[in-house]
Amino acid sequence: MAASLPPKLKIKDITPFAVRAAQLEKHKPIVSYWCNYYIIDQILSKGLHSADDECMQYTTTLMDKLEQTKTEQAGNDAIVDDIAAKAYIEQFALDTFQRGDDAIHTNKASRQTIDTFQAAVTFFDLLNMSIWAPIDPDITAKSKYAKFHAVRIAKAIKAGEDPNDSNPVDEEPPVASAQDSYQPPTVESAPESQYPSRPASVTQPDPTTSLPTQDQVSPIESATNPRQNSVGGGYFPSAPTFSEDFAASNAPSANPATPFIPSAPSQSLDAPVSPSQYYSQPTQPPASIPIHTPVAMPPPPPAAPVPLPPVQAVAPGTYRTDDDSITLAQKHAKWAMSALNFEDVDTAVKELRLALQTLGAS
């Protein structure tokens, strides 16, 4: 049909499609069918069929051929179903484009590559038909790419140059050096656990010599230590025990050889005291303990929450609950968790305060 194309129909919107339809009529009849369909669409939309009798005869013959193919291929979705047909043509166009692109990236560009890219552009243009949805931007970009390299290769061959000398160079990813092997922790790489881990080598203060100060009590530390006979779950240190050396060093000078044995039952007790009764009442020091002996403070009940610094009350409804504020607060909170992993308490406190300020709290 390309050879019999009337002179008035030999325009750029028709000729390339007539050439491809004739080339693929035997090997790819479905693609040939849609190339002829595109030709009819262009002729009728531009009113070219009435240009002269030859154009009218060409149009009538081509339409009859399309109807015959549609009847013979009535069970072929790529012919009778518009969605399936578009997918078929798009895939064929992409395959054609890929062959040309592979020739460039393997430095095997030649005259054949020019024809391959030109064919891909023609098949991409088929997707612009009114029966299908608007063309995808990615297809448009690939079509421009194919046109550019077809012209570039043709100019190089015409000038007697090797078209592969001007092929685009694939940039290799940079190789990471030894100095770049260590990357500081980021928000995404920070552990999501509730409490950061603590080094196993940290030694705990000896509870037998003195009571811990307020700074030595760490809620983070309590999460990593198991509950060992402590009602507070490990938050407060255990009550001091009295060894023989301790009692001997603090016993009255009148009886230095008699150490205090804490396990000896008191004669004044009438009945055993249950654990709940013991912890619900203040602990009384034994009569034999000197006045200056340190006494453990009673631990809080098991359900007592970890004491927190007082927070300034904010009137209900004044917190910021928009998406930007919540997202920023989450980032500050994650940074605080990451800082605690490296025992950077100052940074953690600063980030937590920023998170509260972001949400409207002080």
CA dihedral 257, 259, 264, 270 (to 10 degrees): 80
Q: What is the pTM of this model?
A: 0.48
Give per-residue pLDDT as tens, 281-337.
444 544 444 454 555 565 655 555 555 555 455 455 578 888 888 888 887 787 777
Nearest to 79 by CA among 7, 29, 151, 129: 29
Nearest to 335 by CA among 184, 228, 230, 226: 184
Pair of tokens at residue 140:
């448009």
Look up the CATH number of domain 323-358.
Answer: 1.20.5
Query: 120: pLDDT confidence band, cut at 50, 70 and 90?
Result: very high
- Name, in order, each residue with C-beta under 8 angstroms of 170's C-beta and a sequence gap of 6 or more: 105
* pLDDT for residue 359 is more than 90: no
Please give the single-letter amino acid code of residue 193.
Answer: S
Mean pLDDT of 161-188: 62
The DSSP call for residue 214 is: G
Instruction: Write down the mean pLDDT value for the chain.
Output: 72
Query: 160: pLDDT confidence band, cut at 50, 70 and 90?
Result: very high
Domain regions of the chain by residue span: 1-77, 81-168, 323-358
Give per-residue pLDDT as tens, 55-72.
999 999 999 999 999 999
User: What span, in angstroms and rounded, lies between the C-alpha atoms of 41 and 56?
Assistant: 14
Nearest to 146 by CA among 121, 181, 125: 121
Cα-flanking dihedrals φ and ψ of residue 316, to 5°? -55, 140
Would you say domain 81-168 falls under CATH 1.25.40.270?
yes
pLDDT at residue 64 in the model? 94
pLDDT at residue 336 in the model? 77
Which segment of 96-100, 129-133, 206-210 scores lowest on mean pLDDT?
206-210
Query: 360: pLDDT confidence band, cut at 50, 70 and 90?
Result: confident
Positive/negative CA dihedral, 16, 17, 18, 22: positive
Give per-residue pLDDT as tens, 185-234.
544 444 554 444 444 444 444 444 444 444 444 444 444 444 444 343 44
Which segment of 10-14, 297-301, 346-350 scores lowest on mean pLDDT?
297-301
Nearest to 40 by CA among 56, 23, 19: 56
Nearest to 341 by CA among 171, 208, 227, 185: 185
Judged by DSSP in three states, 112 sits in helix
Give per-residue pLDDT as tens, 14-38.
999 999 999 999 999 999 999 999 9
- Could you tell me where the DSSP H helices lie in the chain? 15-23, 29-46, 53-72, 77-80, 82-105, 111-126, 137-158, 219-224, 244-250, 275-280, 323-341, 345-358
Mean pLDDT of 141-163: 95
106: alpha, beta or left, given left = phi > 0 and alpha = psi -120 to 50? alpha
